[in-house]
Structure 1
C-alpha cells in the first residue's frame, strides 16, 4: 500500500507541485481513507520526503544498472550522466523542493554528488585503460561538470533555452567530451 500511495503522490506532485496537492487527492485516487495514508506517513511533508527519497534511490539504482549494461566508455559516461527516474520530476518542482523542503534538497544535492563520483570513477578508468588522455585533471573536469549541472538546475535558464534537464546534460557532455572545434581544426 505504501508504494501505491507514493505512486499516486507522484502523479499529483507532478500535476500540482509539492505544496498544492492534497492528501485528499491521493485518498480519492486510491479509494482509501486519509486515515489509511496516515498509517504509513505521519504527514503530507513525510509523504513528500518519502517520494523524494524513493525517487533518488530509484534513479541511483537505475543509473548503475544503465552504466553496467553499456559496453563502451562513452556509453557508460552517457548512462551515468542522464536521469533514469521512475518518477519524472518537472523542474519547477525542484524549485519548490529547494524552497520548502531544504533537507530533501540536500538529498538531491547528494544525488548530484553520486553522479559526479561515478563520473570521476569512469574517467579514472578511461585514463587507466588508455581510452582517455592521461593529462586530464579529473578534479577540474568534475568541478566544471558540477558547476554546469548546478547551472542547469536553474529553472529560468532551461525555460529560456527551451531545454529539459536531460537535453541540457547531453549538451554539456557534447561540449566537454567532444569539444567545440571542428574535426579539421
Structure 2
C-alpha cells in the first residue's frame, strides 16, 4: 500500500513538473512555437514520459491555461479582500496579472485564440465571469467612496472594461513591438479611470500613475 502511494505521489509530482515547465516555455516563447520535444529537452526527459501524463499538446495547453487561470483568480481574490480604494486595487491587480503572465511578452491570449480556439472560448467565458464580479464590485465600491461618478452605468462600464482588456491583447491591432504589454495596460487603465473618476478619484489616480512610473 505504501509503495503504491509513493508511486502515485511521484507520478503526480512529475505531472506537476511538466506542467510548470510547459507554463514557463509557453509564456516566454509562445503556445505555438513550443513543441513537446522542446519541453522534454528542457526537462531532460523523454517525450514518452510527457505523453504518459498528457495525451497531446492540446491537452497540456488546456491544463496549463486552466491552472494559470485558477492561480490568477485566487490572487485577485486576495487583493480584493484587502479592500484598498478602488483605483489602487485595479493597479495592484494589473501588476499581479502581468507578473504571472511574464508581462505577456508572447501575447498568450491572442495565440490561444488563433491556434486553440476551443480552449480560448472556454477561458474567455471563465474570465468574463471572474471579471464581471470583480469589476462590478470595484465600480460599486468606487461610487460609494466618492472615487467614481455616481451616474455611471455599472453594468455597461464593467462589460466595456472587459472588452477593452481582451481587445488590447489583439496583436494585429496592438503589435508588441510598438505597444509593449505593460505600457499598453497602463495606458488602458488610465483611459478607463479618467472616464469614470470624480475630482477626488483623479487625485488618487495621479498619485497611482506617479508611483507606477517610479516602480
TM-score category (smaller protein): 0.7 to 0.9
Q: Where in structure 2 are the equivalents of 1:83-98 lying within 5 Å? A: 83-84=97-98, 86-88=100-102, 89-98=104-113
Q: TM-score, normalised by structure 2?
A: 0.70
2:119 aligns with one of 101, 104, 110: 104
TM-superposed deviation, 1:38: 1.9
Distance in 1 (alpha carbons) for counterparts of 2:177 and 2:33 = 27
Which residue in 2 is equivalent to 1:124?
140
1:151-170 alignment runs, 5 A limit: 151-159=167-175, 162-170=178-186
Give 1:16 shift.
4.2
Question: What count of residue pairs does the alignment treat as equivalent?
Answer: 182
Larger RCO, structures 1/2 (Cα 8 Å, 6+ apart)? 2
Aligned: 1:4 with 2:8: no
> Which structure's CA Rg is the greater one?
2
Q: Does 1:176 align with 2:192?
A: yes
Equivalent of residue 43 in structure 1, options 53, 56, 62: 56
1:61 and 2:41 matched: no
TM-score (norm 1): 0.80
Once the two structures are TM-superposed, the CA of residue 76 in structure 1 deviates from its matched residue by 1.6
In structure 2, C-alpha distance between the alignment counterparts of 1:53 and 1:10, rounded to whole Å? 11
Cα deviations by residue, 1:133-153 (Å, 9 ceiling, x for unpaired): 322211221233123223202
Secondary structure of 2:55's counterpart equals coil
- Structure 1 gap ranges (5+): none
Worse-superposed segment, 150-159 or 129-138 = 129-138
Give the aligned CA root-mean-square deviation in angstroms. Answer: 2.9
